[in-house]
Structure formats: C-alpha cells, structure tokens
Amino acid sequence: MENPSSYDLTGKTVLVNREWRSMSMTEAVQKGRQHVVVVGGRVTGIAMVVQLLATLNEGAGITVIDPHDSRYPSVFYDPEDLVIANTSGHIGSIVAADPTDFLSYLDHHQDPHSVPRHIVGRYADQRLAHHVRRTRARGVAAARIVDTVRSIARRGGTYVLRLGSGRLIDATDVVLAMGAGPRRDVTGITGIGPYPTGRLRSARVREALVVGTGQSAIDAALVLADSGARVTMSSRAGLLPAVRTRTLLNEQGLTLDPRAPTFDLEATLDRFVQAHGHRPLTTMLSAVRDPIDRLGEEITLAESGDIPWQDALVAVALHLSRHAPQSTGNPRFAWRYLTSIMLTTAHRLRNAINDRAVRLVRWTHVAPQQHDLIVVAAGNDRYPITCTSDAMYLGSAPAGAAPWTTLTESLQVQLPGRTQPERVWAVGPTTTVRYSTANFLASAVAQSARIARRIGNAPTQ
Ligand SMILES: Cc1cc2nc3c(=O)[nH]c(=O)nc-3n(C[C@H](O)[C@H](O)[C@H](O)COP(=O)(O)OP(=O)(O)OC[C@H]3O[C@@H](n4cnc5c(N)ncnc54)[C@H](O)[C@@H]3O)c2cc1C
C-alpha cells in the first residue's frame, strides 16, 4: 500500500501530517481513521477537497486519484485566451462558504463576464494549496496519486480501490468527481476532440470541419479560425446557443417547487420575467429561424440589455442539480438557453462568420473528406460504469455486472440488490445518471458542500 507522503496535491506543496507519514493507508483505515478518496482531480475534485478540508476531523486523510497531473490542459486548464468561461465570476467560487471568493480573486482589470477559462483552473489550484496549508494545522492529511481507479469493492464497512497500476487503496469513503464522461462519437466521422486547443492551433490546417455547434464546438472553431483555418461547422440540429451577458444568482420571482416531478424551462423563465414587471418572454426572444441571423439578433438583444430571462438561469441550474425533475417542454429551447454563450464569445463568432473564416452548413451537406482536420465536439457520453451488489467498475466490466443506474437524492451510489446506499458519492457532471441537465461549476460546488457535510462530522443543514 502507498504511503501518501510520497505524493503531493498541487505539484508544489507536500501536504501530509506527521501521523499519516508514519502509516500506510491500510493501517490508517484499520486503525479507524477516516480516509476519503476523491476520484478525479480537476475543478470538481478540487472543490470537493476544499469542502472536505472544512468538515473532516483531525486525523482524517484525503487522497485524490487522477491519471492526469494538474498541468493537463482540460476544460478549465486550457491556456488559450480565446476560450472563456460562459459563467460570470460572480458564481465561480469553489469555496461554498464564500460565494464571492472567485470574484475577489480576479484582477480588478478583468471583466468578470469574460474570464479566460484557464484563470478558473489557476484559481482552483491556488485556493486548494491555500486551504490545504490552513488545514494542515488541524491534522488533516491530503495527497495525490497519479493513476486511474478501475474498481471500488466493498470490504466489511470500508472499500478497496483497485488502480490501473494494480495498486490497492483502502478507503472509508469515496467520491466520484470524474467529469462528464468520454467524448461522444458521431457515426461515420472520425476526428479529434476540441481540447486541448493547443493541438488545433499547432495543426496549421487550411480546411477544418467542426462537428457540433455548442460551446466546445464554438471554442474549437474560434481557435482554428484564429490560427488561419477556414472552418466549417455543422450539427444535426443546426442550432447555436442563445446569447447572454452575465450569470448572476437571483432567486426573486422564481417559483421552483422542490417536490414538482416535472420542470419546464420556458414557462419558468416566462413567470420570472413577468414577476419582474417585464412583458411576456415570447415577445423578447428572437423568432428568426436562420441560426446566423438569429445570432445577430440575439447579440443586439443582449447589447440592449433586453434579456432579463438570463438572471433566472443560475437558480434554475442549482435547482436542477439539487432535485431531479423530469424536463418537459421543448428540449431545444432548454439546450439553447441553459447553455447560452457569453456576449464576448458571440461577438467573436459573428466576426469570424463575417470574415468568412467560419461558416455553418447543413448536416446533409457536410463532406468530411474535403477537410484536413475534423474536430468532433458533439458532447459527452455517460461513463461506462457498471456494478454488482459488492463492487463498482469504472471502465471494463466483468461478466454479470450491470450498468450503474442508481444515485440517491443524497448523491450516494446504491448498488443493485442492496437497500442501503454506499459511502460512495458522485459530484458534478458525474451525477448525470440522475441529473441529466447541464452542470455549472456552481452546482458542483453546492453538491460538494452537501457531500462534505455528510462525510465529515459537521452538522447537516
Ligand atoms: C466546453 C465546456 C465549457 C464549460 N464551461 C463552463 C463554465 O464556463 N462555467 C461553468 O460553471 N461550467 C462550465 N462547464 C461545465 C463544468 O463545470 C465543467 O465541465 C468542469 O470543468 C467539469 O470539471 P470536472 O472536474 O467535473 O471534470 P473534468 O475536468 O473532466 O475532470 C475529471 C477528471 O476525472 C479524471 N478521471 C476520470 N475517470 C477517472 C478514473 N477512473 N480514475 C481517476 N480519475 C479519473 C479525469 O482524468 C479528469 O482529470 C463547461 C463544460 C464544458 C464541456
């Protein structure tokens, strides 16, 4: 068994208290020490650790396991300045107890509604290091292992994790913070993913096809166009996201019933705008069908400030990640508005379209063979997670294991045939087995705070 003192969390700070340094994890768990393993060490995993550091008792330990070290350029770590957050700095805090933490971290010259995403990653790393240093005095150990978790098996009241290297790690509690899942393939089209964008810049291609028209497809198109490529974008639905200028938390005028079994975004936004004294929602939305003309009209609406619906989105996202109502209403409307892009990105896209560096074509007109590079940015599939009554398998499954389907309202995994949920939690985009809607970092932070209260001994809310 590994002793966590040989690793560190951020690449800079060694974070293990004296007692843990002299024990292996197995010994510690056998001696009744609480040992929480967080599977996945990017922003959601980091938010989870920050919340756990606030709730775990003296003598407990946290180990983060991720095959990528903290420099891997994933969504919030991509160094590309063109790739900005589609949420405002006002809801970017990874510290649940301090919602303004990210806003106060930002340089005062930085527009909080147009923050390059790598600033969020840098902030998360720095806050992690800060909270670990603070908590070390309380005797909570934290460590990082660069490896992949393959399975989590029950053993008595605790768990044994098998890693890709063959190592076994004992844990009293496990949190799955593995992100959204593998990139979705599109039948008949082979390409690379949109991130890290450095691969797109360095490819120096003339003709690129981007499959997808959502946020990550737009990121890829902007980077490729900026590096001199002519970009064709296309998706089956052919829709671009709507345009917003900010994401703020405003619950006033929202009637979100936690017990309601269904949820209709359009009706909710309509009630919200009218409660704030505006005219009906339908009169303030673009009715144009062509996606490029609609982008232009939605930019004008956003510039004029006539988009009060945007101020309901954060509360709605938090509601959807806390309760799991079935979405009714138009799924295309829900996708366009929940994943709407910031005005800065919308301007960049329209400029690239006007400069003929980016064009949108119908799906039936796409000719993949005419392109030097194909980027597939069509979303993510669920992780192939399976389980038996005694174990979970992350990736390849043994015969007899069934797809994982049950996450309780307390965000705990329930194994088939068992009545009690496990001390295995899921957080952030990994909760799609229960919460199918777009996941903001703010939702992941709120979920991580709930989980940390359950795992630690802090009083529950
Ligand atoms: C293009 C895009 C833009 C987004 N922009 C925003 C935004 O602006 N604002 C916002 O609030 N939200 C945004 N989101 C939503 C969400 O907040 C982000 O997806 C966020 O980066 C998710 O972070 P994560 O840590 O959950 O997942 P990831 O960054 O995907 O990290 C998951 C980690 O888990 C590890 N892992 C997976 N399986 C295993 C295993 N078996 N063992 C060990 N480790 C494992 C992976 O190696 C990976 O490092 C965006 C999402 C996308 C896709």
3-state secondary structure 60-88: CEEEEECCCCCCCCCCCCCCCCCCECCCC
Which of 44, 149, 314, 396 is the pocket-test mutation for ligand 1 (most atoms within 8 Å of CB)? 44
Query: Ligand 1 test: best mutation among 48, 66, 123, most atoms within 8 Å of CB?
Result: 66
- Kindly state whether residues 157 and 268 are assigned to the same domain: no
Q: What pLDDT is attached to residue 436?
A: 74
Q: How far apart are CA 117 and CA 110, in angstroms?
A: 12
Output the pLDDT for position 33.
85
Per-residue tokens: 6: 């040989």
Those residues with Cβ within 8 angstroms of residue 192's Cβ, 6 or more apart along the chain or in another chain: 199, 373, 374, 375, 376
Please report the pLDDT score of residue 62 as a whole number.
92
CB 47 within 8 A of CB 123: no
DSSP letter at 178 equals -
222 shares its domain with 279 = yes
Residue 188 domain-assigned? no
The protein residue whose alpha carbon is closest to atom 9 in ligand 1 is 87
Residues 226 and 344 in one domain: yes
According to the model, what pLDDT value does residue 24 have?
Answer: 66
Q: Which of 358, 376, 394 is the last residue of a domain?
A: 376
What confidence score (pLDDT) does residue 460 get?
A: 40
The boundaries of the domain holding residue 254 are 198-376
Domain CATH number, residue 142: 3.50.50.60
The domain total for the chain is: 2
* Exposure letters 286-317 (e unless 16+ CB within 10 A, then b): beeeebbebbbbbbebbeeeebbbbbbbbbbb
User: What's the whole-model pTM score?
Assistant: 0.93
- Same structural domain, 282 and 228: yes
Q: Cα(83)–Cα(14) distance, rounded to whole angstroms?
A: 32
Is 21 part of a structural domain of the chain?
Answer: yes
151 and 266: one domain? no
Closest-lying ligand 1 atom to the alpha carbon of residue 214: 1
Number of the ligand 1 atom closest to the C-alpha atom of 92: 11
Over its length of 461 residues, how does the chain's per-residue pLDDT go in tens digits?
333 333 344 433 334 444 555 566 677 787 788 999 999 999 999 999 999 999 999 889 999 999 987 667 788 999 999 999 999 999 999 999 999 999 999 999 999 999 999 999 999 999 998 998 888 777 788 888 889 999 999 998 899 999 999 999 999 999 999 999 899 999 989 999 999 999 999 999 999 999 999 999 999 999 999 999 999 999 999 999 999 999 999 999 898 999 999 999 999 999 999 999 999 999 999 999 999 999 999 999 999 999 999 999 999 999 999 898 998 999 999 999 999 999 999 999 999 999 999 999 999 999 999 999 999 999 998 899 999 999 999 988 899 999 999 999 999 999 999 999 999 999 999 999 888 775 799 999 999 999 999 999 644 43
Residues 364 and 406 reside in one and the same domain: no
If asked whether residues 176 and 275 sit together in one domain, one would say no
Residues 140 and 204 in one domain: no
Kindly state whether residues 32 and 144 are assigned to the same domain: yes
Q: Verify that 256 and 345 share a domain, yes or no.
A: yes
Q: How far is the CA of 70 from the centre of ligand 1 (A)?
A: 13
**Is residue 190 one of the residues assigned to a domain?**
no
- Would the CA dihedral through 369, 374, 380, 383 be positive or negative? positive
Residues lining ligand 1, CB < 6 A?
39-40, 42-45, 65-68, 74-76, 85-87, 148-149, 177-180, 215-216, 394, 428-429, 439-442
Strands (E), 307-367: 326-328, 341-342, 358-360
SS (H, E, C) 378-415: CCECCCCEEECCCEEEECCCCCCCEECCCECCCCEECC
Q: Which of 348, 376, 404 is the last residue of a domain?
A: 376
Does one domain contain both 34 and 83? yes
The alpha carbon of 180 and the centre of ligand 1 are apart by a number of angstroms equal to 6
Based on the fold, state whether residues 236 and 359 are members of the same structural domain: yes
